[in-house]
């Protein structure tokens, strides 16, 4: 027995990114421990704090049980000995975990009969030798495998590396003196690399270049070098995979673009008007968990019920990227259609106005009840959510605020209109004023280097904490070449040319108000696909030779938007064809295909994947852009980040950039 890497198996069926992750965990890991010659015997699954999240994002408990797991345990907690059962360990390859594992399986009375050990990322030679040299443990090991899967598959096209504090730790006041930051970046890189190990992809590693590399007069800062450092670390791990994993591609099969939060300072703050974004922005949700109030059996008291807004809900899948007005309208039409087509729903609807039901009506309702109950619950849930969102929009006056936000971003209005809004709308809540001024500061940073910014914040009556958040933008702004004179007058020049952070997209046909905004990564991905990403601003770790194509940033023929006949002889996409598709829907709002089921023939003919990783947190608008561009470009776009932040979370992180205390242990002496 030796350390081996899980081979990626596929039957040629369509699978998206999250499905591939799920299949590897369930089939390559759990199912591989079954004895072929005997019936399924129950096993114990033991994980650490990170790997249990990796598993929970990709698999349900019922999936795990179907693979013969009867009990899930935490390696850091005391466990009951089960000497007649085998154990499956899914762990990070840390010294602490290896010590705990050896303690479980050593001596005359091990906790389990045999151990199948799977590590989430590459294990060091030192720890391998420690396991091999454990005399009583080694014979009890049924498998010792590097799974190389250490990320959270939060979406069919999204993943996280579980670095919630990346913004504070890498961009804050103390970033340059924290001893652990290089190790932090290497851990992040190792987890990103496991995405490519799982999908058997070898990317061109592109990254936002440091400004100091473009202009010698620009001061070098730690923040500016972070994408470069991460790209180098990712490249290190990919080179290792290329040398050690037998079926890992030897030539480039996809694209990876690494940027940081500084690339777009507006997307995390602006009000995004899609159903998904507004649920998380305006409602008090814990992650994807929504608390619904439903009447009890007597109908007199409301009970609180927790529901998850995730892929298993077909209405959520259909509406999550829709404008809130569109989602509300479609929910109304679905409800009318459902009632007109469903007998039980008609009876229930009529009883609200007529009174008591007849015996015949009750019989009909009971006959239709099982299907009726499940479907009406889903519909009523989303009708309730949309109703709450629309009420908040009205109560907070978000429509007018949203119009001003987007008008600022597109350069339609400027300082004069902002001042007028702040003077006349004193009842706007403090967080929304902060978000509005943050957008303005991103457009006119020079205003906040003088008394002008202070006067605006006084006019908005921002608290000291909120003022700190605005000023902390300096940690995320890239160093610029000296081109701005500091000798501007103290009086506002309201007639000065307005700044525009976005250009109108002529290809967009949006029929809803407040749907103009788009995140910068949408432009970057399109430029990357067309081969016109600015080569001086975005460097590549593995520059292709000029014999293949002209410039280092140009996309070679084998990375074109579409491949002939949907085939790609130089990529493993022929084995792991994965893409995202919006499910076909029936009139009552339920998918006519199984959730996350097989793709149509056209969607099997996708070009090569594009991965984008954002250091410092991604937004829901950026995840939506990945879905949208996948359909448009016929290439699967996968968005990765250190975290997925809603505006409130991003604001809290901003306030911590300059207020974190450090201890002597953090200093490198």
| 310-346 tens-digit pLDDT | 888 999 999 999 999 999 999 988 888 877 777 666 6
Mark whether 41 and 142 lie in a shared domain. Answer: yes
Cβ atoms of 428 and 619 closer than 8 Å: no
- The bridge status of strand 289-295 relative to strand 302-308 is antiparallel
Q: Between 263 and 173, where is the model more confident?
A: 263
Residue finishing a domain among 433, 449, 476: 476
The CATH number covering residue 323 comes to 3.90.830
The pLDDT of 286-298, averaged and rounded, is: 80
Instruction: For residue 86, give Cα distances in angstroms to 31, 33, 338.
Output: 13, 9, 50
Given this model, what pLDDT does residue 173 score? Answer: 82
Mark whether 62 and 133 lie in a shared domain. Answer: yes
Cβ atoms of 595 and 311 closer than 8 Å: yes
Mark whether 351 and 449 lie in a shared domain. Answer: no
Mark whether 220 and 339 lie in a shared domain. Answer: no
Summarize pLDDT for 101-110 with one digit per residue, the tens.
Answer: 999 999 999 9
Mark whether 411 and 339 lie in a shared domain. Answer: no
Mark whether 143 and 189 lie in a shared domain. Answer: no
CB contact burial 396-429 (16+ within 10 A = b; e otherwise):
bebeebbbbbbbbbbbebbbeebbebbeebeebe
> pTM for the complete prediction?
0.83
Residue 230 included in any domain? yes
Residue finishing a domain among 339, 374, 395: 395
Residue 484 included in any domain? no
- Is the pLDDT assigned to residue 642 strictly greater than 70? yes
State residue 158 phi and psi, 5-degree precision: -150, 145
Residue 96 included in any domain? yes
CB contact burial 619-633 (16+ within 10 A = b; e otherwise):
bbbbbbbbbbbbeeb
Given this model, what pLDDT does residue 298 score? Answer: 61
- Is the pLDDT assigned to residue 181 strictly greater than 50? yes
- Is the pLDDT assigned to residue 570 strictly greater than 90? no
Cβ atoms of 389 and 282 closer than 8 Å: yes
By percentage, how much of the chain surpasses pLDDT 90?
A: 60
Cβ atoms of 165 and 645 closer than 8 Å: no
Burial class (CB in 10 A: 0-12, 13-18, 19+), 25: buried
- Is the pLDDT assigned to residue 527 strictly greater than 50? yes
Residue 158 included in any domain? yes
Instruction: For residue 301, give Cα distances in angstroms to 254, 298, 304, 355, 383.
Output: 55, 8, 10, 20, 20
Rounded Cα distance, 631 and 442, in Å: 31
Q: Mean pLDDT over all residues of the chain?
A: 81
The pLDDT of 484-496, averaged and rounded, is: 42
Residue 535 included in any domain? no
Sheet with strand 141-146: strands edge to edge: 4-5, 141-146, 115-119, 86-91, 43-47, 69-74
State residue 532 phi and psi, 5-degree precision: -125, 30
Mark whether 214 and 323 lie in a shared domain. Answer: no
The pLDDT of 287-294, averaged and rounded, is: 87
Mark whether 373 and 418 lie in a shared domain. Answer: no
Instruction: For residue 614, give Cα distances in angstroms to 25, 70, 71, 231, 654.
Output: 25, 38, 36, 12, 16
- How many structural domains compose the chain? 4
Residue 470 included in any domain? yes
Nearest Cα neighbor of 459 from 488, 486, 487, 492 is: 492
The CATH number covering residue 229 comes to 3.40.50.1910
Summarize pLDDT for 190-230 with one digit per residue, the tens.
Answer: 999 999 999 999 999 999 998 766 666 666 778 889 999 99
Confidence of residue 628 (pLDDT cuts 50, 70, 90): very high
Mark whether 34 and 131 lie in a shared domain. Answer: yes
The pLDDT of 635-656, averaged and rounded, is: 96
Residue finishing a domain among 149, 176, 203: 149
Mark whether 117 and 182 lie in a shared domain. Answer: no
Cβ atoms of 230 and 258 closer than 8 Å: yes
Q: Token digits for 93?
A: 């390859």
Residue 257 included in any domain? yes
Instruction: For residue 659, give Cα distances in angstroms to 32, 474, 501, 653.
Output: 49, 14, 29, 10
The CATH number covering residue 103 comes to 3.40.50.2060
Q: Token digits for 548?
A: 């293949």
Highest mean pLDDT among 37-46, 440-449, 476-485, 501-510: 440-449
Mark whether 318 and 208 lie in a shared domain. Answer: no
Rounded Cα distance, 22 and 67, in Å: 12
Rounded Cα distance, 621 and 627, in Å: 10
Give the alpha-carbon dihedral of 448, 449, 455, 459, to 10 degrees: 20
Host domain of residue 613 = 154-264+601-656
Mark whether 86 and 115 lie in a shared domain. Answer: yes
Rounded Cα distance, 22 and 57, in Å: 9
Residue 639 included in any domain? yes
């Amino acid at each position: 027995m030796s350390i081996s890497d899980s081979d990626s198996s596929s039957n040629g069926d369509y699978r998206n990114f999250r499905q591939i992750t799920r299949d590897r965990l369930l089939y390559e890991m759990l199912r591989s421990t079954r004895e072929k010659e005997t019936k399924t015997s129950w096993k114990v699954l033991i994980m650490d704090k990170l790997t249990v999240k990796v598993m929970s994002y990709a698999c349900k408990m019922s999936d795990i049980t179907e693979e013969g797991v009867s009990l899930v345990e935490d390696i850091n907690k005391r466990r009951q000995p089960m000497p007649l059962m085998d154990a499956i360990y899914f762990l990070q390859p840390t010294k602490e975990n290896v010590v705990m594992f050896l303690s479980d399986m050593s001596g005359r009375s091990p906790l389990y009969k045999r151990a199948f050990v799977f590590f989430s990322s590459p294990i060091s030679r030192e720890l391998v030798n420690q396991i091999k040299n454990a005399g009583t443990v080694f014979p009890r090991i049924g498998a010792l495998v590097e799974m190389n899967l250490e990320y959270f598959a939060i979406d069919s096209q999204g993943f996280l590396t579980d670095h919630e504090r990346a913004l504070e730790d890498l961009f804050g006041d103390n970033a340059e003196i924290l001893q652990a930051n290089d190790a932090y970046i290497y851990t992040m890189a190792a987890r990103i690399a496991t995405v490519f190990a799982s999908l058997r992809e070898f990317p061109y590693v592109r990254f936002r270049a440091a400004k100091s590399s473009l202009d010698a007069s620009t001061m070098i800062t730690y923040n500016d070098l972070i994408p470069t450092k991460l790209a180098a670390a990712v490249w290190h791990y990919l080179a290792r995979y290329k040398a050690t994993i037998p079926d890992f591609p030897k030539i480039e099969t996809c694209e990876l673009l690494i940027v940081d939060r500084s690339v777009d300072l507006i997307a995390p703050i602006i009000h995004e008007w899609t159903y998904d974004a507004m649920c998380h922005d305006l409602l008090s949700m814990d992650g994807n968990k929504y608390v619904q109030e439903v009447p009890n059996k007597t109908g007199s008291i409301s009970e609180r019920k927790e529901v998850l807004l995730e892929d298993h809900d077909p209405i959520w899948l259909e509406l999550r990227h829709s404008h809130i007005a569109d989602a509300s309208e479609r929910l109304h039409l679905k409800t009318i259609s459902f009632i007109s087509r469903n007998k039980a729903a008609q009876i229930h609807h009529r009883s609200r106005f007529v009174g008591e039901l007849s015996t015949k009506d009750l019989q009909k309702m009971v006959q239709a009840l099982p299907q009726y109950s499940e479907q009406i619950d889903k519909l009523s849930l989303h009708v309730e959510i949309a109703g709450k969102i629309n009420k908040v929009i009205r109560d907070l006056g978000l429509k007018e605020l949203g119009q001003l936000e987007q008008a600022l971003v597109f350069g339609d209005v400027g300082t004069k209109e902002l001042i007028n809004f702040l003077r006349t709308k004193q009842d706007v809540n403090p967080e929304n004023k902060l978000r509005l001024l943050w957008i303005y500061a991103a457009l006119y940073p020079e205003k906040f280097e003088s008394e002008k910014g202070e006067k605006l914040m006084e006019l908005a009556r921002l608290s000291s904490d909120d003022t700190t958040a605005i000023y902390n933008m300096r940690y995320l702004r890239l160093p610029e070449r000296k081109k701005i004179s500091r000798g501007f007058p103290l009086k506002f020049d309201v007639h000065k040319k307005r700044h525009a952070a976005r250009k109108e997209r002529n290809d967009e046909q949006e029929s809803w108000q407040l749907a103009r905004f788009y995140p910068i990564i949408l432009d970057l991905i399109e430029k990357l696909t067309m081969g016109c990403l600015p080569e001086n601003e975005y460097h590549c770790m593995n520059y292709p030779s000029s014999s293949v194509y002209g410039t280092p940033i140009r996309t070679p023929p084998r990375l074109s938007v579409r491949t002939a006949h949907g085939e790609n002889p130089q990529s493993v996409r022929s084995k792991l064809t994965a893409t995202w598709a919006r499910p076909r829907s029936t009139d009552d709002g339920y998918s006519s295909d199984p959730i996350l089921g097989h793709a149509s023939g056209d969607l099997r003919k996708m070009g090569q994947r594009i991965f984008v990783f954002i250091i410092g947190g991604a937004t829901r608008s950026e995840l939506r852009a990945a879905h949208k561009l996948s359909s448009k470009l016929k290439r699967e776009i996968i968005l990765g980040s250190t975290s997925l932040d809603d505006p409130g979370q991003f604001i809290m992180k901003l306030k911590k950039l300059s207020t974190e205390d450090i201890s002597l242990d953090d200093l490198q002496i």
